[in-house]
Structure 1
Amino acid sequence: MQATVRWDGAVQFSATPSSGHTVIMDGSPDLGGTNAGPRPMEMMLMGLGGCTSIDVMLMLQKSRQDVTDCVAELTAERADAVPAVFTKIHVHFVVTGRDLKESHVKRAIELSAEKYCSASIMLAAGGVEITHSYALIEADR
C-alpha cells in the first residue's frame, strides 16, 4: 500500500493512495485552513469506521442477514496535550434489516473489533480505548 500527500498551500493537502482516489484534507480555520476537506484526524476516525463497517457487512451478508442499511456512528475523545492523540473511540452501529438475528450482529461487531479490523486493532494496541454498541431496526416489508 502506498499514498502520496501533496501540499496545496496554507494547511491544505491532496492525498492520493495507490487506488487513485484523491481526497482533500485541510487544517482548521484557526490554523489557516479554509475548511476545504476533513482534518487528518477525522480521516483516521472515518477510516476506522469504514474498516469495521466493511467487516461487519461482509459477515452479516455471509450469514445471510437481510440488511437494508448499516450506519456506524463514531465519537472520539482526544488528549488535551500535544500530541492530541485519540484516547477513546466509541462505535455505535445502527443496523436496519428484515428479521435480523441480534446474535449475528453482535458477533460480527465483536469479530471485527477483536480479529479483523486492522484499524481498530492498531489503534487499540496504541492505547486507544475502543468500545462498541449497536441498535437493530426492523425494516418495512
Structure 2
Amino acid sequence: MEFKMTDKGFETSVEYGTLQISGDAEYGYRPFKLLVSSVAVCSGGVLRKVLERMRMPYDDISVQAKVTRVEDEANRVSDIHLHFVIKGVELSQEKVEKAIKVTRKNCSMVQSVKDSINITESFEIVA
C-alpha cells in the first residue's frame, strides 16, 4: 500500500476506491477508527466462519466496539471491548462462548495487537 499526502491528511487507492485518512474526521477516516474497525470486522468475519464450521445456524451478527484511549500517552488505544450480538433461534450459550474463544485465536488483527491493546469480548444471543 502506498499513502500519498493531501492537504488535510493522506489517501490510498484500494480495490473499492480511494480511502481518505485524516486526523480530522471532516476530511477522512480517523486512523484510530480504522484500527478499531479492522479488529471488529476481522473478529466478526472469523466468528461467522467458526459458527458455520460448527454448523450453528444464525441469521445475523453485529459487532459493537467500545474503545478506551489514554490521553497522557499520545491518546493511544488501550482497550477495545467487542460485543457480539448474534441473531438466531437454536444457538447454545456454551457453543457460542467456545466459538468466541476460537475466533480470538484466529483473528489476525486481534493477534497483531494483543500485546499492546487489551481486547475483551462479550456476546448476546437474540431471537
User: Taking structure 1 as the reference length, what is the TM-score of the superposition?
Assistant: 0.81
One-letter amino acid of the structure 1 residue matched with residue 76 of structure 2:
V
User: Taking structure 2 as the reference length, what is the TM-score of the superposition?
Assistant: 0.89
Q: Decide which of 90, 97, 107 is 1:106's aligned counterpart.
A: 97
Number of aligned positions between the proteins: 126
CA displacement, residues 95-128 of structure 1 (integer Å, 9 cap, x when unaligned): 0012112222111111121x211211221112x2
Indicate the percent of aligned positions where both proteins have the same amino acid: 21
Q: Cα distance, 1:15 vs. partner?
A: 2.4
Q: Which residue of structure 1 aligns with residue 22 of structure 2?
A: 26
Q: Cα distance, 1:82 vs. partner?
A: 4.1
One-letter amino acid of the structure 1 residue matched with residue 97 of structure 2:
K
One-letter amino acid of the structure 2 residue matched with residue 109 of structure 1:
I
Q: Decide which of 89, 103, 119 is 2:80's aligned counterpart.
A: 89
1:133 aligns with 2:126: no
Contact 1:67 1:100 in 2 (8 A): yes
Q: Which stretch of structure 1 is more off in the superposition, 35-44 or 68-77?
A: 35-44
CA displacement, residues 9-43 of structure 1 (integer Å, 9 cap, x when unaligned): 223x22235xx233222222xxxx6x143201100
Give the 3-state SS of the residue equivalent to 2:72 in structure 1.
coil
Contact 1:14 1:25 in 2 (8 A): yes
Q: Which residue of structure 1 aligns with residue 4 of structure 2?
A: 6
For structure 1, which runs of at least 5 residues remain unmatched after alignment? none
For structure 2, which runs of at least 5 residues remain unmatched after alignment? none
Contact 2:8 2:27 in 1 (8 A): no
Give the 3-state SS of the residue equivalent to 1:98 in structure 2.
coil
Give the 3-state SS of the residue equivalent to 2:52 in structure 1.
helix
